[in-house]
């Protein structure tokens, strides 16, 4: 590029480039720091919001699962087939057998019970002691299920120490505790042998070799059972709160299992109230804790309160379950 000076053509001179002043640098650094501070605050706010949302979701999930699980179990409790009462069931279990657990095998004690504000619970006659969360309750539910799960039934009459099944697919085995019952009563016993060749269930006395099995004290049943008698499996489920793998959790110990199953995490407290029909009119008069229930056989429904907490989020989940085998809904 050229320019003309006094009519002469001359070469243009490049403009000298100058550096950034100290003021400009300080302004730039200030603006950058301000922007970084803003971005950091936005990031931290988003992170805290995300953590809070995760805690809230965790609380909601644990509370919903725990409440639904308990209500389902409450509704199914106290099913005994058509037996008029568990008092009409004769037990042949040998209570002197070391494998008999008076705390976990109290199958005929009624469909629902519990304890208020416990600090420990015991199993295996006190040999196993579990420390629970202070001031929390325990809930014990009992009942029976179809031992054959629809895959078999009793055929013919039984003799003193055995009876026959219609199918070898019935999922029972040696050492299982079963109840054979009709609408007049029943007998509870341990299976000493299950012969799949002729589909025979034996309930003899003597040592049952299966580990943890309870022997029978007697083998003769209290009555003769005709074809179609119910083959039931009794259970006892104890729910409680105790320290788990990551904080406090809802636990289940079923029948005479030598272990407890961690069901739901983040549960910090468990309160149980029993709806008692004290005047026999078929409706709940009021809810009481376990210490103030007059007769657990008069309890028609159970109200639970689960306190679930994670981080800064804590919520109480409340639900009521009717014992369907005692009410019409």
> What is residue 158's three-state secondary structure?
coil
Summarize the confidence of residues 140-145 as an average pLDDT.
96
83, 183 contact by CB (below 8 A): yes
Q: Average pLDDT of the chain? A: 88
Beta partners for residue 249, in sequence order:
242, 265
Does residue 3 register a pLDDT over 70? no
Which pLDDT score is estimated for 297?
93
Phi and psi for 15 in degrees, rounded to 5? -75, 135
Residue among 310, 273, 265 at smallest CA distance from 289: 273
Question: pLDDT-derived band of residue 139, with 50, 70 and 90 as boundaries?
Answer: very high
Which pLDDT score is estimated for 327?
87
Which pLDDT score is estimated for 35?
79
Residue among 274, 322, 280 at smallest CA distance from 137: 274
Residue among 211, 198, 149, 156 at smallest CA distance from 178: 149
List pLDDT tens digits, range 241-288: 999 988 899 999 998 677 899 999 999 999 999 999 988 898 999 999
Does residue 6 register a pLDDT over 60? no
Instruction: Lowest mean pLDDT of 22-26, 127-131, 288-292, name the range.
Output: 22-26
List pLDDT tens digits, range 15-54: 655 667 777 777 777 777 777 877 777 767 666 766 678 8
């Amino acid at each position: 590029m050229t320019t003309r000076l006094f009519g002469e053509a001359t070469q243009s001179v490049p403009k000298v480039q100058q550096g950034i002043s100290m003021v400009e640098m300080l302004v730039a650094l200030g603006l950058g720091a301000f922007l970084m501070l803003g971005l950091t605050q936005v990031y931290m706010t988003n992170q805290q919001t995300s953590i809070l949302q995760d805690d809230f979701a965790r609380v909601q999930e644990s509370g919903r699962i725990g409440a639904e699980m308990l209500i389902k179990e409450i509704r199914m409790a106290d099913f005994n087939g058509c037996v008029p009462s568990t008092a009409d069931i004769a037990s042949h279990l040998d209570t002197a057998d070391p494998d008999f657990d008076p705390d976990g095998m109290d199958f005929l004690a009624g469909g629902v019970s519990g304890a208020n504000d416990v600090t420990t619970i015991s199993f295996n006659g006190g040999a196993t002691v579990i420390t629970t969360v202070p001031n929390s309750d325990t809930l014990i539910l009992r009942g029976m299920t179809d031992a054959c799960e629809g895959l078999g039934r009793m055929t013919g009459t039984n003799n003193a120490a055995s009876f026959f099944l219609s199918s070898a697919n019935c999922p029972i085995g040696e050492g299982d505790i079963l109840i054979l019952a009709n609408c007049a009563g029943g007998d509870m016993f341990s299976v000493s042998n299950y012969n799949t060749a002729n589909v025979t269930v034996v309930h003899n006395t003597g040592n049952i070799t299966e580990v943890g099995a309870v022997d029978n004290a007697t083998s003769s049943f209290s009555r003769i059972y005709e074809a179609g008698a119910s083959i039931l499996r009794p259970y006892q489920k104890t729910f409680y709160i105790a320290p788990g793998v990551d904080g406090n959790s809802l636990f289940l110990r079923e029948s005479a299992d030598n272990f407890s199953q961690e069901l739901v995490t983040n549960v910090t407290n468990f309160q149980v109230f029993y709806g008692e029909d004290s005047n026999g009119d078929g409706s709940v008069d009021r809810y009481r804790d376990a210490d103030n229930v007059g007769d657990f056989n008069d309890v028609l429904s159970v109200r639970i309160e689960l306190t679930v907490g994670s981080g800064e989020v804590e919520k109480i989940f409340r639900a009521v379950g009717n014992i369907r085998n005692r009410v019409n809904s």
